[in-house]
């Protein structure tokens, strides 16, 4: 079991406690600490058998998972269960069911359905069901195993052979996009990805970062915070080219200009930053994020909540 954490000791404590309650215990739990807060070390120390690797530099989600996966494989792991520190399995049988289904289906990636941590009846991210997308958990009831799709890496169980065939998360992507890259690598190479609706992993909803446009026909995802925006848009440019996501590229050409110029009411600067970051990713320019000089305008308000600004 590999957990990547960054300065969220309270959330990490809740997660580690929930892992102790699993009916099928992991052989070992490895915490990759990207932050180094003393409180994080104290939380890990309260859970015997949990090992912590303190990183002297922030490796991001991608680097943290890569380090944890390689460490697990070097010690003989046959499966690796991956998760961030801000989620937790819903029930005590989550790992047991995932392991059983992974073995029976011979799946490379076996994932629980990801539900809103504050409302278990709502999905944290949309899922495809019968040629449409849904955010309601009840719509997945009776649907059986969902093949070729999962929201990684939230509670995903991955076989060791999968990493040998498809690689590990790409450290260059740092965060926001490494999971999509891995998903497409597995798909392109013919691997089997399944989501098991009968078990769930609780995680903060992605809806606060999702802005409906054109009366909800399209959605623009804009993370909160300059670093997350930088990585998300840069990495998306890379993903569109690397995996030849033509349909996604065409809809992005519509959705993001509409978001910045209509939803944000003429935010030409934001549009220019978006375009520059997309171009940087397209060229595989992965220079690390550098905080801009403090000359940004105040964050505008829309529907009573702050709208993130691109740097």
Is the model more confident about 263 or about 65? 65
Confirm whether 311 is domain-assigned. no
pLDDT (0 to 100) of residue 305: 46
Domain boundary among the residues 203, 237, 257 is at 203
Same structural domain, 272 and 238: yes
Same structural domain, 177 and 231: no
Residue 295 has pLDDT above 70, yes or no: no
Same structural domain, 26 and 142: yes
Confirm whether 275 is domain-assigned. yes
pLDDT (0 to 100) of residue 298: 46
Confirm whether 184 is domain-assigned. yes
* Count of structural domains within the chain: 2
Q: Rounded CA gap, 220 and 169, in Å? A: 25
Confirm whether 283 is domain-assigned. yes
Residues 127-165 as b or e (16 or more Cβ within 10 Å = b) = beeeeeeebebebbeeeeebeeebbbbbbbbbbeebbee
Same structural domain, 293 and 240: yes
Collapse the DSSP code of 119 into the 3-class scheme (helix H, G, I; strand E, B; otherwise coil) and give the result: strand
Q: What is the mean pLDDT of the chain?
A: 92
Same structural domain, 165 and 21: yes
Same structural domain, 100 and 117: yes
pLDDT digits (tens, 9 = 90+) for 250-261: 999 999 999 999
Domain boundary among the residues 154, 182, 203 is at 203
CB 201 within 8 A of CB 90: yes
pLDDT digits (tens, 9 = 90+) for 246-292: 999 999 999 999 999 998 999 999 999 999 999 999 999 999 888 87
CB 127 within 8 A of CB 212: no
pLDDT (0 to 100) of residue 304: 42
Confirm whether 56 is domain-assigned. yes
pLDDT (0 to 100) of residue 129: 87
What is the domain extent for residue 71?
A: 2-203
pLDDT (0 to 100) of residue 309: 52
CATH number at residue 8: 3.90.550.60
pLDDT digits (tens, 9 = 90+) for 69-96: 999 999 999 999 999 999 999 999 999 9
Same structural domain, 24 and 169: yes
The Cα-based distances of 120 to 17, 126, 155, 158 in angstroms read 19, 14, 15, 24
Domain boundary among the residues 150, 173, 203 is at 203
Same structural domain, 174 and 216: no
pLDDT (0 to 100) of residue 189: 94
Is the model more confident about 302 or about 242? 242
Point out the least confidently predicted range of 44-48, 150-154, 173-177, 287-291: 287-291
Residue 293 has pLDDT above 90, yes or no: no
Confirm whether 175 is domain-assigned. yes
Same structural domain, 175 and 229: no
Q: What percent of the chain has pLDDT over 70?
A: 94
The neighbouring-strand residues paired with 116 are: 119, 203
Same structural domain, 194 and 242: no
Same structural domain, 66 and 195: yes
Residue 41 has pLDDT above 80, yes or no: yes
Same structural domain, 180 and 224: no
């Amino acid at each position: 079991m590999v957990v990547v954490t960054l300065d969220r000791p309270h959330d990490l404590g809740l997660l580690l406690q929930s892992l102790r309650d699993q009916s099928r215990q992991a052989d070992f739990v490895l915490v990759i600490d990207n932050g180094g807060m003393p409180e994080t070390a104290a939380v890990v120390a309260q859970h015997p058998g949990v090992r912590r690797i303190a990183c002297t530099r922030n490796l991001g989600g991608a680097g943290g998972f890569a380090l944890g996966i390689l460490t697990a494989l070097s010690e003989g792991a046959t499966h690796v269960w991956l998760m961030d520190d801000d989620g937790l399995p819903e029930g005590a049988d989550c790992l047991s069911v995932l392991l059983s289904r992974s073995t029976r289906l011979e799946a490379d990636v076996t994932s629980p359905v990801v539900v809103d941590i504050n409302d278990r009846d709502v999905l944290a991210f949309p899922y495809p069901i019968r040629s449409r997308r849904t955010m309601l958990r009840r719509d997945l009831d009776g649907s059986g195993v969902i093949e070729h799709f999962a929201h990684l890496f939230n509670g995903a169980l991955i076989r060791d052979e999968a990493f040998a065939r498809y690689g590990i998360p790409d450290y260059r992507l740092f965060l926001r996009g490494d999971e999509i890259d891995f998903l497409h690598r597995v798909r392109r190479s013919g691997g089997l990805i399944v989501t098991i609706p009968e078990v769930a992993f609780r995680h903060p909803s992605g809806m606060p970062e999702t802005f409906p446009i054109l009366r909800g026909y399209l959605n623009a995802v804009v993370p909160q915070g300059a670093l997350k925006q930088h990585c998300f848009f840069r990495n998306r440019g890379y993903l569109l080219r690397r995996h030849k996501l033509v349909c996604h590229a065409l809809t992005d050409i519509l959705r993001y200009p509409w978001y910045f110029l209509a939803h944000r009411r003429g935010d030409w600067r934001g549009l220019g930053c978006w375009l520059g970051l997309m171009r940087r990713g397209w060229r595989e320019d992965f220079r690390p994020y550098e905080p801009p000089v403090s000359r940004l305008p105040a964050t505008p308000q829309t529907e009573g909540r702050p709208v993130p600004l691109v740097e």
